[in-house]
Amino acid sequence: MATTSPQNRTTVRTATAHPPATQAARLALTRLAFRSLDRVAPDLAARWAARIWCTLPTGAGRRRDERPRPGERSTLTLSDGRRVAVETWGFGPPVYLVHGWGGWRGQLGAFVEPLVAANRRVIALDAPSHGDSDPGTLGRGRATGTEFVEALSAAAGKHGKPDAVVAHSFGCAATAVALLDGLPASKVVMVAPSTDLSGNIAVLGRMLGFGERTRAALMSRLRRLAGRPVADFDIVGLAQRAELPPTLVVHDREDKEVPYDDGARLAATWPEAELASTEGLGHQRILRDPDVVEVVVDYVTR
């Protein structure tokens, strides 16, 4: 399952390179091609759709660096030899920072200084194909959701049981799957959590114009690529499958990338979850808002 967050949109990647009319024409041709392949070659359509699904988005917001200063750099080596970039600050119980799809560890840098001041050790990592880590199994610029889970689990194996995990967007879904796999986190903070990967695939199908035959082949292909089903990343119902730690969900009502209702539903469904709502911060600015940082750090350290 090459799973991603809802940011994975073909139109996002073409918008800066082509004017709107050209972009619309390209999308129309793409939809025509997918509709034709859906009838005669759904496996071929699924391979194409999987490539789109697994490709990382671009954007300056995902490369913002909010770190107060450089930390101690190191690497983790995963079971297949890929190296994952890790950066640490401070001393004390470990708090892990997990970025979202197409992001990197520096995006969550605003949490570093106040956590260190609260006597926590901060461990931030880049998932494969992100930031300073090696390319993932699908090559540079592509990744799977399972690689996020592997990176977080490996970091916890080296740096210790998480006192807390602070995650953003798709990093929240990956953190939830790591909990399902046995990650022993004492607390979790989910900022603008992506919660419904199966629903996102349905959105992709409507956008690209393919039907049920291609969708079924795509789900099968994604499972083979990542070694687990997409449904593992539909995390709202995870409480039925795993014991979950106390969780704080922070979500902005005007988030245009991951709907606010997704976070609210997660907070209402998980047994020990709280919801903190914001206004006007969107999907990225929420990571550097001083009030959000204060609420998150207070939750982690109290």
Question: Residue 207 contacts by C-beta under 8 Å, 6 or more apart in sequence?
Answer: 9, 10, 11, 27
Give the end-to-end CA distance of the chain in Å, rounded to a whole number.
37
Structural domains of the chain, ranges and CATH numbers in brackets = 10-56+199-224 (no CATH), 66-195+235-301 (3.40.50.1820)
Question: Residue 103 contacts by C-beta under 8 Å, 6 or more apart in sequence?
Answer: 62, 130, 131, 168, 169, 171
The region that residue 298 occupies, defined by phi over 0 for left and psi between -120 and 50 for alpha, beta otherwise, is alpha
| Predicted local confidence at residue 9, as pLDDT | 32
| Predicted local confidence at residue 23, as pLDDT | 82
Query: Which tokens sit at 71?
Result: 């930390």
pLDDT greater than 60 at residue 196: yes
96, burial (CB in 10 Å: exposed 0-12, middle 13-18, buried 19+) = buried
Q: How far, in Å, CA of 38 to CA of 77, rounded?
A: 40
Average pLDDT estimate for 82-107? 97
CA 85 distance to own-chain centroid: 17
Between 7 and 226, the more confident residue is: 226
| Predicted local confidence at residue 124, as pLDDT | 98
Q: How far, in Å, CA of 230 to CA of 69, rounded?
A: 37
Show the DSSP H helices in 16-144 as ranges.
Answer: 20-40, 42-54, 112-117
**Containing H/E element for 280?**
none
pLDDT greater than 80 at residue 244: yes
pLDDT greater than 90 at residue 14: no
Q: How many CB atoms are located within 10 Å of the residue 206 CB? A: 10
Query: pLDDT (tens digit, 9 = 90+) per residue, 120-149?
Result: 999 999 999 999 999 999 999 999 999 999
Query: pLDDT (tens digit, 9 = 90+) per residue, 167-194?
Result: 999 999 999 999 999 999 999 999 999 9
- Cβ atoms of residues 287 and 250 within 8 Å: no
Mean pLDDT in the chain?
92
Between 9 and 195, the more confident residue is: 195
122, burial (CB in 10 Å: exposed 0-12, middle 13-18, buried 19+) = buried
Question: Residue 253 contacts by C-beta under 8 Å, 6 or more apart in sequence?
Answer: 260, 277, 278, 279
pLDDT greater than 70 at residue 301: yes
Query: pLDDT (tens digit, 9 = 90+) per residue, 108-122?
Result: 999 999 999 999 999
Instruction: Map residue 86 onto helix, strand or coil.
Output: strand
pLDDT greater than 70 at residue 8: no
pLDDT greater than 60 at residue 5: no
